[in-house]
Structure 1
């Protein structure tokens, strides 16, 4: 019996047992769908992490409050960071490209005759360069604004659109913070609120000295710097800490970390979750594979006389083996292909639920490959049992 004849017999058997094929392939179908979905969700999670750090250089370093050291009992011992510390670090460090001081707090702001609590960021020079922020309309805060203490601000694009309809319309308008008016000088290009020490799209930026008066004692200043190379991150951290150690009585109130470590840690967590999700999908595949194995065992029992006849007519063990393996492979292909097709209709539904998904060809190929391999492997043992049936015993089975 040649291969084409084997294929013909398999196809005839499958067509005669359509409902059984449907039920058998259902487990593989669900497994394929699961793998495609979990890969898409995992990729979506990784994309969300990368989007959070969009535009943020891995060379960025942060000097933040060490909350493990800082508590209510020793709060009076904390020395807050100042522009003097920033200037000294910049003067002494050989690996820092630029650095700025950031002090943030939420304050009630009157903007377009509406009141809202908004994040106020007092920033020193070059905050835009270090945090990779760009002006879309108007002008950036400059050295004169910093030195003169002018009542000017730069606001995030999302904030401008919310109150003025279009970002450009915000230029020249006044906002009220406390009892003072501040002129909107510039609007930042949208970045997406990220984990970079500030939320640029929804914030207000002021010259440091001007903003410090508004924030008062409610904020704890932080330093954000930019190393000249990813390879020099460790060196930059040491230089910053060295300066703080002799300028502060107790520099352990502060800790230094870097964006590269944050990105790596976040991506590592996303990938771990991706692996866990794929593991769940694999369990579903195994269940589907066991279903195929059980159905093929039943098929072997039902077709024992048929196998006996084929052997009596000269079919070899390997031909019987080939027939049943081919049957399990086709069932797996049907289930896998159905899963791939139906998944295309599920993605829009997931998108509507605000679940981050990234549909990829690789995910579909991987899921389909798993489907075929899993189903085929689970069909080998029943096929082996069928091939070992003795012709006389098989023909005598009623």
Structure 2
């Protein structure tokens, strides 16, 4: 029998039983849609992580108090300061810049309304190291730091929250802890932050001003950040920083931990990929269930069409022709399920956006889902097709 004839017979059977085809392929439809959504969520998660860390330099090294140490006494712990950070810079041939920041919350009065906002005191090198860019106005500089001036830069979310538009906030006066500050700039949007700081949600003031007027010296712990000259020398830079801390703090150096931005990014991406693998496992299980459904239906179909198989064999169809016919039927059913699954994934897109789930639909996801569907139909349809091909014409024609 010619392949075109086999295909024609298969299509006629599928068209005449279209509702059964749709019901049979339900598992495949759900599986295909699940795989596409899983890949989209996984890709979206990875892109979100990359976006969140986009502003970080992979050459940044963070110096933070190790709060996992149960013996730490915040009041007595020796603290970083500008002089100590200068030692870190001078002692290492791998470090190009250093900065300090302190953070906390304070009462803020903007346009007559009282609020409570995160306040971050930073040295003038902080913006450059963290790739902070000013969207409107200007940033904090060395003069502001040296004179402990009462000026501030607003994160974009803070500006939009309190002012009609972010640009309009520049030049306005606000009160922080009862003292008047001038808004000199607005940061570009940054996404998630670093060292527990969310730039979009914070108000930045000079480091010296923060220590002098806003944040409690007893409980505020300065955090350090260093930038390596060469991205390939991060490990050497970290080793240099640790050596400097050992020299500066002696036995107290164990109170501090040194981390690099690259490892944070890799850890976040690894977490996103792990979640993607778990979701893919769920989608695979759904496909297997769908494949078993196809196999069961084909077994029933073989029983129902036993006489038809006997007639085809009596007319000269070979076992190979019967095998191809039923296998083709299985693949077409699963392919229909795959295509309908792709359509379903498009219908689910608005729901994911409504729920705020980051998704990134790619052509790869759709191709993988369709291939998965076809492979599932082939694997699970083979045995019923093989059983059909082995029926003897006489037994098939006499089957009741």
**What interval of TM-score do these two structures reach, taking the shorter chain for normalisation?**
over 0.9
Q: Who is 1:131 aligned against?
A: 130
Q: CA deviation at 1:179?
A: 2.9
Q: 324-333 or 216-225, which moves further after superposition? A: 216-225
* Residue 19 to residue 377, structure 1, CA distance change in 2 (3 Å): same
Q: Who is 2:338 aligned against?
A: 336
Q: CA deviation at 1:10?
A: 0.7
Q: CA deviation at 1:169?
A: 1.3
CA distance in 2, matches of 1:175, 1:104: 18
8 Å CA contact 1:320, 1:387 repeated in 2: yes
Q: Who is 1:299 aligned against?
A: 301
Q: CA deviation at 1:76?
A: 4.5
Q: Which runs of 5+ in 1 are unaligned?
A: none
Q: CA deviation at 1:354?
A: 1.1
Q: Who is 1:23 aligned against?
A: 23
Q: Who is 2:263 aligned against?
A: 261
1:164-243 pair list within 5 angstroms: 164-213=163-212, 214-217=214-217, 218-243=219-244
Q: Who is 2:247 aligned against?
A: 246
Match of 2:313, SS?
A: helix
Q: CA deviation at 1:229?
A: 2.2
TM-score by length of 2: 0.96
8 Å CA contact 1:98, 1:227 repeated in 2: yes
8 Å CA contact 1:120, 1:203 repeated in 2: yes
Give every structure 1 segment of 4 or more consecutive aligned residues whose post-TM-superposition deviation is greater than 4 Å.
Answer: none
Q: Who is 1:62 aligned against?
A: 62
Match of 2:116, SS?
A: strand
1:112-123 pair list within 5 angstroms: 112-123=111-122
CA distance in 2, matches of 1:174, 1:307: 88
Q: Who is 1:312 aligned against?
A: 314
Q: CA deviation at 1:94?
A: 1.1
CA distance in 1, matches of 2:136, 2:272: 36
CA distance in 1, matches of 2:260, 2:19: 59
CA distance in 2, matches of 1:302, 1:180: 87
8 Å CA contact 1:70, 1:253 repeated in 2: no
Note if 1:388 corresponds to 2:387: no
Q: CA deviation at 1:129?
A: 0.3
Q: Which runs of 5+ in 2 are unaligned?
A: none
Q: CA deviation at 1:197?
A: 4.3
| Number of residue pairs the alignment of both structures matches | 397
TM-score by length of 1: 0.97
CA distance in 1, matches of 2:239, 2:111: 46
Q: 12-21 or 189-198, which moves further after superposition? A: 189-198
Match of 1:216, SS?
A: coil
For residues 113-169 of structure 1, give each alpha carbon's deviation from its aligned partner in whole angstroms, at most 9, with x where no partner exists.
111111111111211100100111212111111111111111112211221211221
How large is the Cα RMSD of the aligned pairs?
Answer: 1.3
Q: 184-193 or 236-245, which moves further after superposition? A: 184-193
For residues 212-250 of structure 1, give each alpha carbon's deviation from its aligned partner in whole angstroms, at most 9, with x where no partner exists.
121122311000111122211111111111111111141
CA distance in 2, matches of 1:143, 1:132: 17
CA distance in 2, matches of 1:300, 1:160: 70
Q: 136-145 or 252-261, which moves further after superposition? A: 136-145
1:1-12 pair list within 5 angstroms: 1-12=1-12
CA distance in 2, matches of 1:157, 1:210: 21
Q: 153-162 or 294-303, which moves further after superposition? A: 153-162
Match of 2:299, SS?
A: helix
8 Å CA contact 1:154, 1:185 repeated in 2: yes
